Structures are given as C-alpha cells and as structure tokens.
Amino acid sequence: MPLLNRKIDYALLILCYLHHKIAGGCAREIADQFALSRPFVANILKDLCRQGYVRSQRGVKGGYLLCDQISSRTLANLIDALDDTMQVAECNTDQPEACCSLAAHCPIRVPIEQVHRRIRELLESVKLLDLFAQAGPIGDPSLQLDLSRCEKMQVT
C-alpha cells in the first residue's frame, strides 16, 4: 500500500498548480490541466479550504488561491489534514493493546515504532513549498510526461 493515497497525490498536484499559478485557479481548470475528475478535484479543494491550505474567492473571477500559512506546512501536516494520521502498523497508537492481543509482548512492536518515528520525522521535515519549487512550472512537458505515467500506474 502506498504511503500517499490518491487523495494526497491529487492534493499535492493541486497545491503545486496553485503555487505556480499566482493568480489562482478553479476546479475545472485544474481538473483539465491534469485530466482528473472534476468532482474529485472540487472535493479535494473543499477539504484544502477547510484545512487552511487554500482560500476560495467567489464570483466571475473566482477560484482558489494558496493561503499564506502554506509556507510553514509540511508533508506530514497535509497527510494528517486530509487522511488519517499515518501509521506504519496498527499498533503505532497510544493504546496498542486495543488493536492487537500480542502488543504487550510483541518482539517487533518497539522496532516498528522506531521506524514509524523516523518516517514521521522525515515527513515533518519536508516543507510543501520546497516540493513545489522543485517541480518546475505547470505546463512543462517533462511534468506532463511524469504525471501521465503516474496516472497510468495508479489505474489498476
């Protein structure tokens, strides 16, 4: 199972698009740019709006813009905001006994917790704006090729 689900993947695409398109964009425009489902893009934009990643503007020239707070947001923040908090294993919770009868004497629970902690620290160190700055401008042919290849890989 991938660490980043489709919703997080698309949220990253949407946020990257808005990062490079200073004037903002609407759900239709973003969906068309990446050949995505318009309703799914609209739902993700609503979630991003509720979580303070983007703000919406109504009207003829309406659409979505990145919020200023995005400069401090990390990949871990985005995963937590749009999905359940990432866990390497079910027992990586405050109450591991609730999910597994072996938790009290499991020999791998502590090493798995350490792996979880290291992955979490890495995700918390990745600033979203750093990802977007490395992505290149929207419309870049290499970006389009990468996205179409990823899209085909996800459809299984």
Nearest residue to 49 (alpha-carbon basis) of 30, 64, 31, 34: 64
Q: For residues 14 and 47, is the Cβ–Cβ distance under 8 A? A: no
pLDDT of residue 83: 81
pTM: 0.77
Q: Cα(44)–Cα(142) distance, rounded to whole angstroms? A: 25
pLDDT of residue 76: 93
Residues 47 and 58 grouped into a single domain: yes
Tell me how many domains the chain contains. Answer: 2
Residues 120 and 133 grouped into a single domain: no
Residues 14 and 64 grouped into a single domain: yes
Residues 52 and 64 grouped into a single domain: yes
Residues 81 and 62 grouped into a single domain: no
pLDDT of residue 110: 84
Low pLDDT (below 70) residues in the chain: 1-2, 93-98, 136-156
pLDDT of residue 144: 42
Residues 122 and 133 grouped into a single domain: no
Taking only the tens place, the pLDDT of each residue in 89-119 is: 777 766 666 677 777 788 888 888 899 899 9
pLDDT of residue 81: 92
Give the H/E segment covering residue 57: strand 54-57
At CA 2, angle to CA 8 and CA 49, rounded to 5? 10
Nearest residue to 3 (alpha-carbon basis) of 79, 62, 95, 101: 79
Residues 39 and 52 grouped into a single domain: yes
pLDDT of residue 55: 94
Residues 109 and 152 grouped into a single domain: no
Residues 121 and 83 grouped into a single domain: yes
pLDDT of residue 74: 96
* DSSP-derived 3-state class of residue 37: coil
Give the CATH number, domain containing residue 152.
1.10.10.10
